[in-house]
Amino acid sequence: MARESESGLPIEPVYGPQALQGWDPAEKLGEPGEFPYTRGVYPSMYTGRPWTMRQYAGFGTAAESNARYRQLIAHGTTGLSVAFDLPTQMGHDSDAPIAHGEVGKVGVAIDSVEDMRVLFGGIPLDRVSTSMTINAPAAPLLLLYQLVAEEQGVGADRLTGTIQNDVLKEYIARGTYIFPPKPSLRLIADTFRYCRAEIPRWNTISISGYHMAEAGASPAQEIAFTLADGIEYVRTAVAAGMDVDDFAPRLSFFFVARTTILEEVAKFRAARRIWARVMREEFGARNPKSLMLRFHTQTAGVQLTAQQPEVNLVRVAVQGLAAVLGGTQSLHTNSFDEAIALPTDRSARLALRTQQVLAYETDVTATVDPFAGSYVVERMTDDLEAAAVALMDRVEDLGGAVEAIEQGFQKGEIERNAYRIAQETDSGERVVVGVNRFRLDEEEPYEPLRVDPAIEARQAERLAELRAERDRPAVDAALAALKKAAEGDDNVLHPMKEALRARATVGEVCNALREVWGAYVPSDAF
């Protein structure tokens, strides 16, 4: 009896040559590092060097997060991923009334250049690659990073890393938006231009399917809606007068890795193939780097359980293996206790060790694209590609990603799939170890990491000192220049940087833009 994949596609008990009848390896596969990049974006992949091992971390104050970063680097992390608290993600200062109760809870609180300086104190920014999970206020956070690098004597041309900067998925699945879609896209285009001239090695956007998957998207939905958003960003930049090959090589993507290894491997391979064809056929990209879908992967937090949390160690190892077999460029492995609270030092170290075992104790790095030619994986890759393209066509029929978002299409499709998963779990049809089968009569106690609630008061004190010491007329003049640029066509990042240099806060910068662009209110909120 056939099973269904996470995307609702059939999985046959046995696959043979008939599964690939009429299948052309030259068209479907190519060689590693060559169009259509099904087999990976680089010829040697991990046989040359392993993927970048990132660990997503950040909590409480900048000083506490800095200490965690130093520990991760000492344990072998090769890239940092910064988690910001909700007020920072929403463009609010820590002492804003709306921030009460959330300061430092799900990430680090960053209000000004003072905090960013502490966050990266003692960490040489020319020798570490930094990914920042920040979207609506990505531009001011990147500029703060650049200002701190300048203080270290590190030129912007030596900085490497990524800002997520993907606001469209916020309207679909996550909700940490600030401005309406049109000015948000303008800010992203301004960031593309700024980084091309000022920070050329920086990845200006990480187009994210991860959060859609966490909200319940199937693998087919994850890649379809993510690539549709990517197409919207490319169209925005081209419409703003940029040549596609000037910015497309710096685009990157961010996907989830689930425990369903075969479908996840097929998903990554299908996504590379679709993107390469879209970039060549729709946008006429000529630079091979413009065709390459390079991506970061994070293991599936939504699949972790608070029940028997040690079982999550197994889940994360399987998920990480799926990402590696699928050809990810960098990987974050979740800590086993993340379903309970922020990771402890020990659990974060174990998560990193999981990647190191995959890289150095298995043979998955010995050959490129180990599943190439597999009857089941190649068929699943084709099936996922067809399902994703069909969804992308529906987005196009609605007028593109932004129009589809305004009509609630992607959100509705994801919610229906999430409801299906919940029903299957509740009925026991979908087995979740430790939750609906193989349960314990009594859970063993576990002491999680807790964030000190006094952090909010300390951040408020730091802000009060900052505002008392800085040159207020200079700040006001810089914010006025920012608003003037936002009202016109000038790139807003240049006056934004000067405002931040004058020690304007992230909240003040975002509020200046709110005054000009307004704040987004979803249609279903009326």
335: closest CA among 345, 347, 344, 323?
347
Residue where one domain finishes, among candidates 407, 427, 447: 427
What are residue 207's DSSP bridge partners?
A: 253
377-400 average pLDDT score = 98
For the segment 349-356, the average pLDDT, to the nearest whole number, is 96
Looking at residue 198, its pLDDT comes to: 97
- Using the 3D structure, point to which of 378, 411, 427 is the last residue of a domain: 427
Q: What is the pLDDT of residue 260?
A: 98
Provide the pLDDT confidence category of residue 183 given band limits of 50, 70 and 90.
Answer: very high
In a domain, 487, yes or no: yes
Cα–Cα distance for residue pair 51/59, rounded to 1 Å: 25
Query: Residue 134 carries which DSSP code?
Result: -
Is residue 436 assigned to a domain?
no
Least confident of 145-159, 355-369, 510-524: 510-524
| Structure-model confidence comparison of residues 80 and 91, the more confident one | 91
Q: Of 411, 498, 395, whose CA–CA distance to 212 is shortest?
A: 411
59 assigned to some structural domain = yes
Closest CA to 508 of 499, 516, 517: 499
Residues 338, 485 within the same domain: no
Residue 509's domain spans which residues? 455-525
Give yes or no for residue 452 having a pLDDT over 60.
Answer: yes
In angstroms, the Cα distances linking 8 to 3, 11, 385 are: 9, 9, 13
Residues 163 and 217 placed together within one structural domain of the fold: yes
More confident: 524 or 425: 425
Output the domain CATH number for residue 137. Answer: 3.20.20.240
Q: Average pLDDT in the 445-464 region?
A: 88
Residue indicated by tokens 């998903």: 267
My answer on whether 248 and 363 are in the same domain is: yes
Beta pairing class for 52-57 and 330-332: parallel
- State residue 460's pLDDT score: 97
pLDDT, average across residues 434-457: 87
Q: Is 460 within the bounds of a domain?
A: yes
Q: What angle do CA 207, 210, 215 make, to 5 degrees?
A: 125
Residues 6 or more apart whose CB falls under 8 angstroms from that of 237 comprise: 188, 189, 192, 244, 247
* H/E element, 161: strand 161-163
Count the domains in the chain. 2
Domain end point (choices 408, 427, 446): 427
Beta bridge partners of 80: 55, 130
Pairing of strands 205-208, 161-163: unpaired
CA distance 60 to 106: 8
Do 250 and 180 share a domain, yes or no? yes
Residue 409 has a CB neighbour count (10 Å cut-off) of 20
Beta bridge partners of 437: 433
Question: Is the domain of 14 the same as that of 95?
Answer: yes
User: 411 pLDDT exceeds 90?
Assistant: yes
What's the mean pLDDT in 474-498? 98
What contacts 469, CB < 8 A, 6 or more positions away?
Answer: none
Q: Please state, in angstroms and rounded to a whole number, the distance separating the CA atoms of residues 27 and 498.
A: 50
Q: Are residues 259 and 168 in the same domain?
A: yes
pLDDT of the residue at 524:
60
505/503 Cα distance (integer angstroms): 6
525 pLDDT more than 60: no
Q: What pLDDT does 81 receive?
A: 87
Strands 10-11 and 3-4: antiparallel
Can you give 502-518 as a three-state secondary structure string?
A: CCCCHHHHHHHHHHHHC
Nearest to 98 by CA among 380, 445, 514: 514
- Mean pLDDT of all residues belonging to the chain: 95
Give the amino acid at 497: K
Q: Do residues 509 and 414 share a domain?
A: no
CB-CB contact of 54 with 109 (8 Å):
no
Percent of the chain with pLDDT over 70: 99
- 402 lies in some domain: yes
Q: Tell me what percent of the residues of the chain surpass a pLDDT of 90.
A: 90
pLDDT digits (tens, 9 = 90+) for 186-222: 999 999 999 999 999 999 999 999 999 999 999 999 9
pLDDT on residue 451 = 77
Give the C-alpha distances (Å, rounded to integers) separating 231 from 234, 406, 489, 502. Answer: 5, 17, 23, 36
Q: Which sign does the torsion angle of CA 84, 87, 91, 95 carry? A: negative
* 442 domain residue, yes or no: no
Residue 441 lies in a domain: no
Sheet holding 202-203, edge to edge: 202-203, 161-163, 129-133, 79-83, 52-57, 330-332, 295-299, 251-257, 205-208
Whole-number pLDDT of residue 94? 97
Q: How confident is the model at residue 60 (pLDDT cuts 50, 70, 90)?
A: confident
How do residues 307-347 score in pLDDT, each as one tens digit? 999 999 999 999 999 999 999 999 999 999 999 988 888 99
Q: CA-based Rg of the chain, rounded to a whole angstrom?
A: 23
Q: Is residue 157 located within the same domain as residue 266?
A: yes
Residue 152 lies in a domain: yes
Which of 3, 2, 1, 6 lies closest to 425 in space, CA to CA? 6
Domain match, 108 and 234 both: yes
Quick one: 212 and 358 in the same domain? Answer: yes
The answer to whether residues 276 and 423 belong to one domain is yes
**Angle of helix 409-427 relative to helix 219-239, nearest 10 degrees?**
160
The pLDDT, as a whole number, for residue 1 is 52
Q: Where are the alpha helices (DSSP H) in 326-369?
A: 345-360
The predicted-structure confidence for 233-264, as pLDDT tens digits, reads as follows 999 999 999 999 999 999 999 999 999 999 99
Give pLDDT, residue 443: 84
488 and 360 fall within a common domain: no
| pLDDT higher than 50, residue 526 | no
pLDDT value at residue 336: 96
Instruction: Look at strands 295-299 and 3-4 and give their pairing.
Output: unpaired
- Residue 442's pLDDT band, with cuts at 50, 70 and 90, is confident
